[in-house]
């Protein structure tokens, strides 16, 4: 498996589609654009996309643009110096792509001077909660962040 950031142009459409399939499928069927420079791709041996991770920092996040209503409704979590994981999605579970993407995010955080990684996960997302716990993240807070309808969110952190 090859891990690369930024996401190569040939994989951008598939990366957007995969990411949006997990986090908020667009009603129109067309995934809004993502920023390759704020993404990491896991490319499988056959050359296809096995997973994608987005991240946010002081220069913005994975999404290239959000509709005005979405920007107005989004509730940001408290500010952080950490590199924020903007979602990890893999095509197949338990094949190592998620950990490889998280390791790449840690490398990016170290190179860019961030003291840690932060993930903001819906409390009801048991699979994500278990993944982050298994990879060394600990809870640092809770609140109603993100979209108003998403429910309680847990803030998780791991030093790099």
- pLDDT at residue 65 in the model: 73
The Cβ of residue 92 has, within 10 Å, a number of other Cβ atoms equal to 11
Question: What is the overall mean pLDDT for the chain?
Answer: 89
Q: Which residue has the tokens 């908020």?
A: 24
Locate the domains of the chain by residue range.
2-114
Euclidean distance between CA atoms 85 and 131, whole angstroms: 13
Q: Which residue has the tokens 């399939």?
A: 21
Torsion of CA 11, 16, 17, 23, to 10 degrees: 150
Tokens of 48: 């296809």
Q: Give the rounded percent of residues in the chain with a pLDDT score beyond 70.
A: 88
3-state secondary structure of 130: helix
- pLDDT at residue 70 in the model: 65
Section 73-83 average pLDDT: 87
Sign (positive or negative) of CA dihedral 143, 94, 37, 65: negative
pLDDT in tens, 57-75: 988 888 887 666 666 777 7
- pLDDT at residue 151 in the model: 76
pLDDT band with cut points at 50, 70 and 90 for residue 30? low
pLDDT band with cut points at 50, 70 and 90 for residue 8? very high
pLDDT in tens, 101-141: 999 999 999 999 999 999 999 999 999 999 999 999 999 99
Ordered DSSP codes for 69-90: HHHHH-BPPPP-SSEEEEEEEE
CATH class of the region 2-114? alpha beta
Tokens of 147: 């979209």
- pLDDT at residue 5 in the model: 97
């Amino acid at each position: 498996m090859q891990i690369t950031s930024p996401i190569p142009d040939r994989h951008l459409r598939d990366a957007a589609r995969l990411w949006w399939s997990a986090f908020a499928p667009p009603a129109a069927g067309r995934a809004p654009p993502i920023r390759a420079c704020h993404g990491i791709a896991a490319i499988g041996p056959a050359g296809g996309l096995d997973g994608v991770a987005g991240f946010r920092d002081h220069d913005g996040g994975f999404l290239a643009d959000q509709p005005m209503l979405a920007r107005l409704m989004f509730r940001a979590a408290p500010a952080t110096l950490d590199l924020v994981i903007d979602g990890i999605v893999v095509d197949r579970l338990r094949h190592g792509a998620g950990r490889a993407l998280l390791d790449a995010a840690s490398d990016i955080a170290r190179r860019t001077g961030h003291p840690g990684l932060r993930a903001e996960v819906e409390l009801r997302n048991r699979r994500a909660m278990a993944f982050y716990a298994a990879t060394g993240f600990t809870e640092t807070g809770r609140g109603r962040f993100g979209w108003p309808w998403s429910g309680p969110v847990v803030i998780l952190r791991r030093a790099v």
